A and B are shown apart, each in its own frame.
Chain A
Amino acid sequence: MSRATIWLEEAGVPAVAVVCEGFKKSADLVARAGGLSAMRLVEYPLPNIGAQTRDEIFETSLPLVDELVSLLTHSPKVEAVSAKAATVGPRAIVFQGNLEEVNEHFQEHIWSDGLPIVPPTLETVDAFLACTDRSGGEVIGLLPPTRLPATVWKVAVNGAMAGCRPQFMPVLLAIAEAAVDPGFGIENVGSTAGITPLIILNGPIGKQLGFNSGQGVLRPEARANITVSRFLRLLMVNIAGYRIGEADMATFGRNYYPVLAEAEAESPWSPLSVDRGFAGGANVVTIMGVDSITHSFLTQDPAENHLRVIAREVARELGGSLLVAMERFGGRVAPVLGLTPLVSGILAKEGYSKADVKQWIYDHALIPAKQFDEQLARISEGYNLAASVKKGALSERFALSGDPERLVPVLHDPDELHIVVCGAPNRNRSFIAGQFGNYGGAVSKKIRMPVPKKT
């Protein structure tokens, strides 16, 4: 959050950022990207402040005071910054060698994700550009925290490296458009929570390009699902600067999820893209930052039995996170509930619309208020659901009484739940994926197909 420092310095207020040891590189990156010549910064020493008592924090803070005073009363030292970004023109050849040498070069410069890449030659990249009517030089947007431009050309380069087919280019461009959207908040995705983008695909383009929406949808096998997802990671690494220990401060992190293509033909309901405001049949990508995707839990028998277990799992997953209760991460969440065609079919057959399912889960996915209160108090002493309701950040539903055992929802409202029908058609299993508010907020973009050239 060292951006606050930049905004204050811009306003003529000397501002010192206190960051935990290990976060200096990340803060410097944000400062440079924001155009700040130098950042006034104090490192809070280890161990992690979050694990310290109040007395320990008071003791640890004392030796920082002299440095704080000095930073506020002196101009910070401007350090020479080695320019990492290339300024050689997009078509310039930056390296030549055999497959192994190219891969060694890319690994050495952290231009990859650890897996071998497809060498981005001019010929390869041009093949991608031939699958769009957009100019290679078009700037899709700037990607924080580096705020370097994501151009159509760079999308093609990173798509080629990821192993995508050139025909995937319209999907890659839509993903890049979503990634630069401030609503996604890509600059927050590198937080210690280790957030990972999830890409959801809707529309006939899924089948046309060979995306798997059925059995093993989240397994790396179908080339389209896994390489398109890898593309987004490479875009984050190479344009947004997501290198581990710099912009990417994930405590653990996880690998990218293959694209979750919705099995629209097998779904009894309209697809997610319609829920998000697009016309039926539109080709749409939705990206969001998720934490984990849960185990695939088993449900059976009548619709209410399925719903009861689903609600229990939703409560377990979302009730273990403070994101719903804590408005500080944006106040809205977008968890994804994955249902197989079988489970969604059973629910639909017994008369449940998608809206009914969302409402049922909202009404029944409940946890004791004390579970959220304990988490809120960890972040801010004395803060709890009742205090949040009092200041208007949560609805009164969260504080109908002062009883710590009262049951409260794990969603702000039913529509926060994003239902996607996918997976093995005849399995009675489901999953839930938690989502991180404005740390990777859900953003949907229509996939624009190239307009055929007139002959």
Chain B
Amino acid sequence: MISNYEVVSPIGDASDASISKNETVCAEPLDSLAGKKIGLVWTVFANGDTALRAIAQHLGALYSDLEFVEMEPGQGLSWGDHPDASIADLARQHGIDGAIIAAGC
């Protein structure tokens, strides 16, 4: 005799938690890169720093008044460290308009 099984779901269900997830709408786009300050954020992975510097050089060739800031990925962290949420405060302190993050490899 073959048994029949009625089974429940093993997978996570957002509705199990009353904790509401934050919904984040993407930031407004820049009107142009001309005259803007761009934060470069390197987080851990090999050669991400070189890639960011290469991209900055290429962008700089297109927009001569573009400014770049090599940002730490959070308060008290160093260029290249694992990031934390305080990166948002740093972005405000640096007054950056946009950011490029070497993020995963």
| A residues whose Cβ falls under 8 Å from a Cβ of B | 1-20, 23, 26-27, 34-38, 40, 44, 48-50, 52, 54, 57-58, 61-62, 64-65, 68-69, 72-76, 84-88, 90-99, 102, 106, 109, 111, 119-122, 125, 137, 139, 142-143, 146-151, 153-154, 157-158, 161, 188, 192, 234, 238-241, 327-330, 378-381, 391, 393, 438
Contact = CB atoms under 8 A, between A and B. Distances in A.
What interface size band does chain B fall in? 35 or more
Given A1-B43, A50-B46, A328-B81, A18 B103 contact: yes
A437 to B, nearest CB: 9
A237 to B, nearest CB: 8
Contact of A85 (B4, B5, B13): B13
A72 B87 contact: no
A91 B27 CA distance: 40
B99 A239 contact: no
Given A36-B24, A57-B50, A234 B10 contact: yes
B88 to A, nearest CB: 4
Nearest to B102: A18
B74 to A, nearest CB: 8
Contact of B5 (A19, A96, A329): A96
A143 B96 CA distance: 32
A97 B10 contact: no
B11 A85 contact: yes
Contact of A37 (B26, B32, B41): B26
B62 A238 contact: no
Contact of B13 (A20, A72, A90, A111): A90
B46 A12 contact: no
Contacts of B25: 37
Contacts of B32: 73
Interface in B67-87: 73, 78, 80-83, 85, 87
Contact of A11 (B45, B55, B92): B92
Contacts of A23: 104-105
Contacts of A54: 50
B26 A149 contact: no
Contact of A50 (B14, B45, B59, B81): B45
Interface string B4-17: 11111111111111
Contact of B26 (A40, A106, A192, A330): A40
Contact of B12 (A96, A99, A238): A238
B5 A57 contact: no
A96 B103 contact: no
Contacts of A393: 78
Best-buried of A44, A88, A98 by chain B (most CB within 10 Å): A44
Given A57-B51, A192-B105, A1 B5 contact: no
Nearest to B11: A238
Interface in B48-69: 48-52, 54-55, 57-59, 62
Nearest to B59: A65
A5 B103 contact: yes
A99 B8 contact: no
Given A15-B27, A87-B13, A97 B105 contact: no
Nearest to A71: B29
Given A20-B105, A34-B24, A122 B91 contact: no
Given A61-B58, A327-B81, A149 B17 contact: yes
Given A19-B104, A35-B23, A154 B57 contact: no
B103 to A, nearest CB: 4
B39 A13 contact: yes
Given A40-B26, A50-B46, A330-B82, A99 B3 contact: yes
Contacts of A37: 23-26
A61 B55 contact: yes
B105 to A, nearest CB: 4
Contacts of B33: 69, 72-73
B5 A49 contact: no
B101 A5 contact: yes
A8 B88 contact: yes
21 contacts: A1-B73, A12-B27, A12-B28, A13-B27, A15-B100, A35-B22, A58-B50, A58-B57, A73-B31, A86-B11, A88-B9, A90-B13, A98-B4, A121-B7, A139-B16, A148-B12, A148-B13, A149-B12, A154-B13, A378-B46, A381-B49
Of the listed residues B27, B62, B88, B102, the one surrounded by the most CB atoms of chain A closer than 10 A to its CB is B27
Nearest to A21: B105
Contacts of B12: 85, 143, 146, 148-150, 154, 238-241
Contacts of A327: 78, 81
A49 B52 CA distance: 12
